[in-house]
């Protein structure tokens, strides 16, 4: 899932300081599950901002909402009234949420309350770790199921580098060395020969380096004939 983290409250407060009527919108998808932007977090953020305002004698009006998926315009349209009725939308979704609101209501301001971080896996409750960077060309079948692009600090294809120390990364001893892990995994699977070969330079054109990416499913796209006007989802 996409894992995000709330920005520090001070930063959020500064960001929204000039605005009076603020609608805070959370999202029930990834960010709810990673405890960053579900209903609880939205309510807590609003309450904390109100306490701060109270202390500092500032007046702002807040509305707290949550939508099913903020990255889809149909879900956002459900709360259109509230968006239009505010000076500022504070999005408690990944940056896709704030951008979807912005793209659909370009004259409105939609600010991010979260920092969107990683494609991560919950290792245990409250701990998420990065395991994919969305490079657009998956090779983990050759690396024991462990992605070196995301999990190696240097995205090496021919690791581990000389900084691998006791199976830890040179960047931080708390991080596991991805290539050490790949070596161990392949050994377990009896497939060590896979890393004996030289891996050629990666073609990064499938990643962000190839420019902004759009994935299309032609068979799923609606034809001009099928397209409907803006409609309610309920």
Partner 1 sequence: MKGQIQVIGCKSCTEIPQLIDMNKLIEKASTMDLVVSTVLVGAVCDSKSIKQVVQEAKEREVDRVVVLACPKKVVNPALLAAFKKAKVNEFLVEYVNIRDEVVLPHMDDPPRAQAKAETMMVAALQKVMGLKPLETLKEQMRTRNVVVLGGGASGRKAAETAAKTGAHTIIIEKGTKSFKAPGVLMQNSVLLKSKGYGGNFVLTIRAGEKVEELQCAAIVVATGGGWTRLNGPLAKACKSALPLYELDEQIRAGKKMEGPIVIVDSPDPAGKSMQVRDYAWDESLELAIELKRRSTDSDITIVFQEMRAFGLSELRYKEAAELGVRFIRYDATGIPKIDPKEPNVVSVKDLAQGETIRLRFGTLAFASIPANDDNEGIADTLRIPMSPDGGIRHGSIQRGPVSTPRPGIFICGSALFPKTKDIAEEEGMVAGELAGEFASKGIIEYGGSVAEVTQEKCSACLTCIRTCPYEAPFIGIANKAEIRTQACQGCGMCVGICPSKAIELRNCTDDIIMQETKTMLRGDF
Partner 2 sequence: MTPRRPKIVGFCCERHGLDSPVAAAKSGITYDASVRIIDVPCTGRVDGLHILKALEDGADAVFVLGCLEKNCYYDTGSIEGRKRVEHVRSMLEEAGIEKERVEMFNTSSTMTWRFPEIVSKMCDVVNRLGPLGKEGDEQ
Partner 3 sequence: MKAGSNLERVFESGKFVVTAEIGPPQSANPEPLVHHAKMLKGYADAFNLTDNQTAVVRLSSIASAAIVMREGVEPVIQMTCRDRNRIALQSDLLGASALGVRNVLCLTGDHQIFGNEKGAKSVFDFDSISELQVFDRLRREGKQVGGGEIKDPPKVYLGCAENPFATPYEFRASRLAKKVAAGADFCQTQAIFDMDLFEKWMDEVRSRGLDKKIHILAGVIPMKTAGAARYMKNKVPGMIVPNHIIDRMKNAKDSKEEGIRLCVEQIETLKKMKGVHGIHIMAVMWEDIVPRIVEEAGLLPRPTF
How many of the chain's residues bind partner 2 (CB under 8 A)? 16
Alpha helices in the chain (DSSP H): 9-16, 30-33, 39-56, 73-77, 80-84, 95-104, 148-151, 178-188
**Strand order through the sheet with 110-112:** 61-67, 21-27, 88-92, 110-112
Q: How many residues belong to the chain?
A: 234
How many of the chain's residues bind partner 3 (CB under 8 A)? 33
Site for partner 3 in 162-191 (CB under 8 A): 162-172, 177, 180, 183-184
Site for partner 2 in 42-71 (CB under 8 A): 43-44, 47-52, 54-55, 57
Q: Locate tokens 């596991």: which residue? A: 176
**CA-closest candidate to residue 207, choices 168, 155, 169:** 155
Q: Is 164 in the site for partner 1 (CB under 8 A)?
A: no
Which range of residues in 31-39, 54-62, 136-144, 192-200 is near partner 3 by CB under 8 A? Answer: 192-200
Q: How many CA atoms are closer than 13 Å to the CA of 206, on its beta-carbon side?
A: 9
Q: Is 139 in the site for partner 3 (CB under 8 A)?
A: no
Q: Are strands 114-124 and 127-132 parallel, antiparallel or unpaired?
A: antiparallel
In the complex, minimum distance from the CB of residue 27 to partner 1, in angstroms, rounded to a whole number: 10
Q: Is 40 in the site for partner 1 (CB under 8 A)?
A: yes
Q: Which does 184 bind (CB under 5 to 8 A by kind): partner 3, partner 1, partner 2, none?
A: partner 3
In the complex, minimum distance from the CB of residue 36 to partner 1, in angstroms, rounded to a whole number: 8
Instruction: Give me the residues that bind partner 1 (CB under 8 A), please.
Output: 28-29, 32-33, 35, 38-41, 43, 66, 125, 166
């Amino acid at each position: 899932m996409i894992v995000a983290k709330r920005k520090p409250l001070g930063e959020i407060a500064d960001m929204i300081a000039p605005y009076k009527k603020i609608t805070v919108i959370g999202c029930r998808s990834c960010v709810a599950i990673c405890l960053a932007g579900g209903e609880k977090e939205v309510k807590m953020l609003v309450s904390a901002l109100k306490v701060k305002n109270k202390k500092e004698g500032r007046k702002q009006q807040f509305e707290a909402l949550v939508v099913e998926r903020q990255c889809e315009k149909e879900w956002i349209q459900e709360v259109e009234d509230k968006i239009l009725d505010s000076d500022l939308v504070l999005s408690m979704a990944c940056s896709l949420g704030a951008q979807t609101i912005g793209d659909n209501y370009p004259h409105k301001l939609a600010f991010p309350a979260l920092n969107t971080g990683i494609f991560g896996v919950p290792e245990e409750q409250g701990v998420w770790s990065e395991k994919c960077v969305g490079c657009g060309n998956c090779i983990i079948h050759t690396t024991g199921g462990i992605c070196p692009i995301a999990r190696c600090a240097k995205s090496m294809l021919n690791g581990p580098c000389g900084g691998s120390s006791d199976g830890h990364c040179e960047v931080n001893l708390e991080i596991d060395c991805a290539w050490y892990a790949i070596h161990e995994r392949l050994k377990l699977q009896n497939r060590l020969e896979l890393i004996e070969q030289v891996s050629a330079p990666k073609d990064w054109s499938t990643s962000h380096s190839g420019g902004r990416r759009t994935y299309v499913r032609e068979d799923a796209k609606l034809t001009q004939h099928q397209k409907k006007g803006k409609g309610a989802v309920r």
